[in-house]
Structure 1
Amino acid sequence: MRDTVTPTHCPYCALQCGMNLTPAPDGRAVEVSERVDFPVNRGALCGKGRTAPAVLSSSVRLTSPLVRSEGGALVPASWEEALARVAEGLGRTRAEYGADAVGVFGGGGLTNEKAYSLGKFARVVLGTSQIDYNGRFCMSSAAAAGGRAFGLDRGLPFPLEDIPRTGCVILVGSNPAETMPPSLRYFTELRENGGTLIVVDPRRTKTAEQADLHLAPRPGTDLALALGLLHLIVAEGRTDEAYIRERTSGWEETRAAAMAHWPEYVERITGVPVPELREVVRMFCEPEAAMVLTARGPEQQSKGTDTVGAWINLCLATGRAGRPLSGYGCLTGQGNGQGGREHGQKADQLPGYRKLTDPVARAHVAEVWGVDPDSLPGPGRSAYELLDALGTDIRSLLLMGSNPVVSAPRAAHVEERIRSLDFLAVCDVVLSETAVLADVVLPVTQWAEETGTTTNLEGRVLLRRRAITPPEGVRSDLEVMHELAARLGGGRNLEKGFPTDPEEVFEELRRASAGGPADYSGITYRRLAEENGVFWPCPADGPPAAGGTGTGPRSVGGGGHAARGAAELDDPTRAGGTGRLDTADGAPAPGVHPGTPRLFHDRFATEDGRARFAPVSHRAVAEEPDDEYPVLLTTGRVVAQYQSGAQTRRVDELNAAAPGPFVELHPRLAERLGAAEGEPVAVVSRRGRAVAPARITTAIRPDTVFMPFHWAGEGRANTLTNPALDPVSRMPEFKACAVRLEAVEAGRPAPSSP
């Protein structure tokens, strides 16, 4: 048993780092070792990946269903009793108030198979439109902006291996040194190869310390910053007019909007000096190739879609999209944040990244599911809107793999809404802060105990393999949906449509996604077991692997190779071995699509093949500082914790490195407040109050404070955050809200200005 090595992937961030697992003698635990053959991390792992097996321990995870007793406590129960209670709770609500009174909330950590089944379960078994997931809080603004500009959203339209070979990268609102440490090597190699790195962040993070240039704009002003840079690009004659003419539309309106944002005006808004703006333009425009990469900083804003669109405009205006070693990309955060939104657990989507409002898409998916297209409900509420409706329009909730009591904006209000539900069922691996409030908690399998696929930030579909047997008393989410479908089907044998074998689910997902923007139909478990992932789109009826130009109306990738440019990009087998399936003699297997590591080199995925500029203008954050709340709060992560911390806070090594929340503030602000290093500071917004120790540093702007969002209790950062929503993506404004600071001892307010 000790000699059995299972190659698989980390359960945490969207890098989905490769790792090897070796079972311990008892068969219930595993040891992690390097997996150097996987091209994304090349053996490197962060502390979270190395310690991931700790959460497999029965001492920290759930191993029995729990039900709410008459006395109000959660007590162990049999699976039969727990499932019966869930079916009764959901069914009673549906019967009394209608299908849309039942909500479903998923997670960006669910495998593709689970996400697909959850969307199907909501729409076919429950008949509800009220389904969304916590990935809405991750990169929905980038997805909306990418779809608007390119006709297709995939986090990175190129593999990570392209980053070190470009000339310049502008990294906006991202701190990979702490959020996905193994990826930092790509930016280090970029600089070693003579390229330059520009980091845009109001804090001087560990990533910013390694940059050639660090811009520290005021939180919420990234849109103005991008517009000011585009103004200078136009004014200095650095646009690629031939590219704009041949491959884009909407330039005239976009140029006019940018010219209204002259450098001095942008400096007043952002705090970034004009000379630094000019230096960014020079560094970005002089190399032959360049990239812009965004993350949560510009995306988690009430204008996040327009903000990302403005950064995409820089790429389009300079001819830096759809060309070798150039383009715009988003650094997805959650482990399956990409795949999780492609296959139906999002309020407005069907599998294959199809639109729920598209009659053709509805007919295709309904045929796969064996139902009438008219029986499928329409789009429902977005994530925060769904949570805000709990206890009123939505009376019961089934929640899988999420912890909104910690992770949602205006978290105290969300907690109140959850408490007001008639019925709550939670499927999770640990007793999270949200699970504690449930009527029924179902213990489910996790990464090393189950097989399934995920899709990383590159659009690379991967196979996670089962390495150990789960504890007795634990079942998979697929089994849960199978059993609930049987109980809620009303005699319709719906459980047959919800198999428990993940490969069987994936085979159905392939059919459902076929012909859609995220086409997985040419991907099989066998391919994933033999290759280091396969990039979508990958149709089943694709061209021979040695050539071809894509997949019908989605001809966006040139068969996985560049249509022109660097010779090393012409081989579709690059990007870590993903490419053609070879026959025994090494010849390409005829008719097998190689997958698409690089998108848009032939055309964009719009109807006319042209990318679309976004004519946008600066607007303020939803909540500007004032005399009562004079400081801006921004939130983020630390390297040793992950998301709501439900799992990582149960790992001793990680807690030793990051034991609790803190408030990061500038020395000038600390002096005015009378705060000292390590002493508690209260941060107060219009939504509530959080208290945490002060961390005083010159690495943050004097008008801004920072809090990590991994903890519950009095240090819960999301007690403070603003649920103001982007009108397109419905992303809440996590990254900027007005607060005041108070010295905890005396309760006296901070000065009216920083």
Structure 2
Amino acid sequence: MTELMLKYFRDKQDAVQKEKVYDTQCPYCSMQCKMQLIEQTVISRKIHKTIGKDNPTSEGRLCIKGINAHQHALHRDRLKEPLMKIDGTFVPVSWNKALEVIKEKFTALQQTEGNNALSVYGSASITNEEAYLLGKFARVALGTKYIDYNGRLCMGAAATAANQTFGMDRGFSMTLDEIPKTRCIILAGTNIAECQPTIMPYFERAKENGAYIIAIDPRETATTNFADLHLKNKPGSDVALANGLLKILIDEKLLDEDFLAARTNGFEELKEQMESIDLDEVAELTGVSKEQIYQTAIVFGKETTGMIFTARGIEQQLDGTAAVRSFINLLLATGKIGKAYSGYGAVTGQGNGQGAREHGQKTDQLPGYRSIENQEHREHISKLWGIDEKDLPRKGVSAYEMFEKIEEGEIQAMFIMCSNPIISNPNANFVKKALKKLDFLVVADLFLSDTAKLADIVLPATSYLEDAGTMTNVEGRVMLREASYPIVGNAKHDWQIICEIANALGKEKYFNYQSVEEIFEELRLTSKGGKSDYYGITYERLRKEKGVLWPCPSPTEPSTLRLFEQSFAHPDGKAKMAFFSNHGEVKKPKTSRKYPLLLTTGRVMSHYLTGEQTRKSPSLAAHNVEAFMEVHPETAKQYGIKKNTLVKVESKFGWIVVRSKWSDSIRKDTVFVPFHWTESQNVNRLVSNQLDPYCKMPGFKVSAVNITPSKE
């Protein structure tokens, strides 16, 4: 055997001997796929590969983002130590120095301007423990009412609609396992094939079993191509479409009268209002033919079981809450909820979009999905936290409204955790201007994001490979994310960062945790008896059962697989139906001579949220290196836009320059731009500052714009 061959076998043996395996979960979408990072060391060089791990939700599947997630976590640009801005330049400092400055600045503002001069902006990508702790930090350590989080921009409409209609909000009223056995599925404004690819096999099995699938979307996508029927509606017309469908269900007597009488309130009033709905007007408003509207209503109404799933397409509207409630009306009218193979599903976007909104990050909420304005709820949490109820702040304002409070001078400092609001918020130019106006900004993140670049102090956080804790996935299943990869540099876990700032402010009595599991044990107690009751869930149980669906009030009780079988969560046990006008309560952006086209936004498969993480992954960035504007060829010709050329897209709020992409798959009156890029490609510069009156969701999905060939 030659020396070269011997060396080959020795190297191969060394690789096997030095292989390490790290269990974790994907940091991206709400499927929260279980996976393992395999690290091999070959002659001092580390080679990484990610593989799926079997679990009840994704069954071992991974999509392209999950397979390549480690590339951003191990990227050379990861923040490794605290940074402080001195004379406009970031310089490394010790943790002690960073905490000392934060204490000095926060305390000075509290003394001169009051506690509400401080604010906290959270994230739906952090763990349940960290979301819980961030809410406690704002209210106990800072004593401020100003806290909200980026999930407001994602799940606000669905959560509010579910709470108003059902009395509680768990994304899915049923489990993923029931999907293959249902008879009819409506996918309203959700492109699951590209946004949650590992969920698709459930729908594929349903189709194989004979289910009829209807997709509602202004664009043709991988999801609409999979469906049996595609309703290519005009952006912003979802309430009118749902009303048209309900009108037909009533006229054709395809109702579950017994269910309506026993389980709902408000149907008779709704029925009276439906007499004013004209199907010709609905067809005109939506751009969907009466024949297709009838076909959808008849199929859904006649099938014995059915499900409706909504996502950002209909939720990120100025009438997003109304749109979701209007589609839920269809389920209630036909009795397709609370029974086998039927139900409602809000397809959560961010990894912990469900759990992050349950335990106190939202400005109006306390742990366990309790209300901060409810006296009994306030007393319950105050007692467990060891504070006087009178010292617990009241409700503040929503995520975007906090930036308005900065502009007004009421908020003068902000702590941002794992979020990039100058890219993700509407009216992005205004948000950037507001952040620059702050007296003091602290950001905790993995990278020096666009938002972090504006900070006075940046704190290095740990990634999904390093930071353990629980996440609550798309179906309401609480899952334990194991994480044991060596921490990069001097980064700290989010929960440690929160505790260290609180301790620096003299609040160590309330933040004396030694482990993330200890925080979860407190979360269990504070959630006990609430709508999102985690009391029966422990780390040991999560490891054994691979996840538990809440509510779970006792360690001896099983997961709650299906909600609302006997009653809804309102005090009288009934769901609340409500009518919403085709024309809405809020004045929506409308086309004009100056802005003749509608703009809608969304994701591409290879990127996620603001792209801060996925653009650090070479394998993902290579699929989409820049933003683009999808436009119908006839529309492009009308406005002088050639293929693959730079085009200026402008609204009354700002402008961007992106590359044109001709496509027959989009409506002629609509253009599409994804939202994963920054600066002059940041589509949220074009989105208005208007908000849904119920949930404060911005209207990301409908803007009036003009397009012209770029001169740059």
- Smaller-chain TM-score range? over 0.9
Matches within 5 A, 1:151-166: 151-166=167-182
The corresponding residue for 2:212 is 196
Q: Answer yes or no: is the 8 Å Cα contact 1:485–1:495 preserved in 2.
A: no
- Three-state SS of the structure 1 residue aligned to 2:622 is helix
Matches within 5 A, 1:511-522: 511-522=525-536
Distance 2:260 2:604 in 1: 40
Q: Give 1:42 deviation, angstroms.
A: 1.3
Amino acid at match of 2:422: V
The corresponding residue for 1:426 is 443
- Three-state SS of the structure 2 residue aligned to 1:311 is helix
Matches within 5 A, 1:303-314: 303-314=319-330
The corresponding residue for 2:583 is 619
1:709 matched to 2:675: yes
Distance 1:30 1:95 in 2: 50
Match for residue 32 of structure 1 among 37, 50, 54: 50
Q: Answer yes or no: is the 8 Å Cα contact 1:447–1:466 preserved in 2.
A: yes
1:242 matched to 2:258: yes
Q: 156-165 or 423-432: which moved more?
A: 156-165
The corresponding residue for 1:50 is 67
Match for residue 387 of structure 1 among 403, 413, 423: 403
Q: Answer yes or no: is the 8 Å Cα contact 1:604–1:610 preserved in 2.
A: yes
1:635 matched to 2:601: yes
Amino acid at match of 1:610: K
Q: Answer yes or no: is the 8 Å Cα contact 1:90–1:397 preserved in 2.
A: no
Q: Answer yes or no: is the 8 Å Cα contact 1:709–1:718 preserved in 2.
A: yes
Q: Give 1:496 deviation, angstroms.
A: 4.6
The corresponding residue for 1:529 is 543
- Three-state SS of the structure 1 residue aligned to 2:222 is coil
Distance 2:160 2:352 in 1: 18
Matches within 5 A, 1:154-193: 154-193=170-209
Amino acid at match of 1:406: I
Q: 401-410 or 78-87: which moved more?
A: 78-87
- Three-state SS of the structure 1 residue aligned to 2:70 is helix
Match for residue 516 of structure 2 among 485, 502, 505: 502
Matches within 5 A, 1:264-283: 264-283=280-299
Q: Answer yes or no: is the 8 Å Cα contact 2:311–2:347 preserved in 1.
A: yes
Distance 1:58 1:314, change over 3 A: closer
Q: Residue by residue, what CA displacement relative to the aligned partner does 1:197-232 show, whole Å, maximum 9, x if unpaired?
A: 100000001110111000011100000000000000
Q: Answer yes or no: is the 8 Å Cα contact 2:363–2:397 preserved in 1.
A: yes
1:538 matched to 2:552: yes
Q: Residue by residue, what CA displacement relative to the aligned partner does 1:678-729 show, whole Å, maximum 9, x if unpaired?
A: 1011110010001101001110000011100000021110000122111110
Distance 1:427 1:28 in 2: 28
- Three-state SS of the structure 2 residue aligned to 1:389 is helix
Identical aligned residues as a percent: 43
Distance 1:516 1:24 in 2: 46
Distance 1:273 1:719 in 2: 34
The corresponding residue for 2:464 is 447
Q: Give 1:617 deviation, angstroms.
A: 1.4
Amino acid at match of 1:530: K
Distance 1:642 1:158 in 2: 26
- Three-state SS of the structure 2 residue aligned to 1:441 is strand
Match for residue 386 of structure 2 among 360, 367, 370: 370
Distance 1:683 1:155, change over 3 A: same
Distance 1:30 1:98, change over 3 A: farther
Matches within 5 A, 1:663-678: 663-678=629-644
Q: Answer yes or no: is the 8 Å Cα contact 1:294–1:329 preserved in 2.
A: yes
Q: Give 1:28 deviation, angstroms.
A: 8.5
The corresponding residue for 1:133 is 149
Structure 2 alignment gaps of length 5 or more: 1-16
The corresponding residue for 1:557 is none
The corresponding residue for 1:574 is none
1:211 matched to 2:227: yes
Which consecutive segments of 4 or more residues in structure 1 shift more than 4 A?
1-4, 26-30
Amino acid at match of 2:62: L
Q: Give 1:23 deviation, angstroms.
A: 3.8
Q: 142-151 or 382-391: which moved more?
A: 382-391
- Three-state SS of the structure 2 residue aligned to 1:447 is coil
Amino acid at match of 2:457: V
Matches within 5 A, 1:596-745: 596-619=560-583, 622-745=588-711
The corresponding residue for 1:410 is 427
Match for residue 82 of structure 2 among 61, 65, 68: 65
Q: Residue by residue, what CA displacement relative to the aligned partner does 1:163-216 show, whole Å, maximum 9, x if unpaired?
A: 111001000000011111111112211111100110000000111011100001
Distance 1:531 1:376 in 2: 37
Distance 1:353 1:103, change over 3 A: same
Distance 2:665 2:514 in 1: 50
1:220 matched to 2:236: yes
Give the TM-score taking structure 1 as reference length. Answer: 0.90
The corresponding residue for 1:751 is none
- Three-state SS of the structure 2 residue aligned to 1:427 is strand
- Three-state SS of the structure 2 residue aligned to 1:154 is coil
The corresponding residue for 2:10 is none
Q: Give 1:252 deviation, angstroms.
A: 0.9
The corresponding residue for 2:14 is none
- Three-state SS of the structure 2 residue aligned to 1:105 is strand
- Three-state SS of the structure 1 residue aligned to 2:432 is helix
Q: Give 1:4 deviation, angstroms.
A: 5.1
Distance 1:538 1:15, change over 3 A: same
Q: 136-145 or 467-476: which moved more?
A: 467-476
Matches within 5 A, 1:309-388: 309-388=325-404
Distance 2:47 2:136 in 1: 33
Q: Answer yes or no: is the 8 Å Cα contact 2:19–2:40 preserved in 1.
A: no
Q: Answer yes or no: is the 8 Å Cα contact 2:609–2:675 preserved in 1.
A: yes
Distance 1:495 1:403, change over 3 A: farther
Distance 1:89 1:62 in 2: 23
Amino acid at match of 1:275: E
Distance 2:455 2:602 in 1: 27
Distance 2:362 2:100 in 1: 27
Q: Answer yes or no: is the 8 Å Cα contact 2:249–2:255 preserved in 1.
A: yes
The corresponding residue for 2:317 is 301
Q: Answer yes or no: is the 8 Å Cα contact 1:522–1:538 preserved in 2.
A: yes
- Three-state SS of the structure 2 residue aligned to 1:170 is strand
Q: Give 1:29 deviation, angstroms.
A: 7.8
Over the aligned positions, Cα root-mean-square deviation in angstroms equals 1.5
Distance 2:441 2:514 in 1: 23
Amino acid at match of 1:236: E
Distance 1:276 1:466 in 2: 49
Distance 2:173 2:35 in 1: 24
Distance 1:128 1:27 in 2: 48
Match for residue 471 of structure 1 among 461, 467, 488: 488
The corresponding residue for 1:579 is none
Amino acid at match of 1:736: V
Q: Answer yes or no: is the 8 Å Cα contact 2:24–2:464 preserved in 1.
A: no
Q: Give 1:731 deviation, angstroms.
A: 0.6
The corresponding residue for 2:454 is 437
Amino acid at match of 2:321: T
Distance 1:411 1:498, change over 3 A: farther
Distance 2:621 2:398 in 1: 33
Amino acid at match of 1:403: N
Distance 2:567 2:428 in 1: 43
Number of aligned residues: 691
Amino acid at match of 1:134: N
Q: Answer yes or no: is the 8 Å Cα contact 1:149–1:611 preserved in 2.
A: yes
Q: Give 1:91 deviation, angstroms.
A: 1.8
Q: Answer yes or no: is the 8 Å Cα contact 1:23–1:467 preserved in 2.
A: no
Q: Answer yes or no: is the 8 Å Cα contact 2:640–2:708 preserved in 1.
A: no
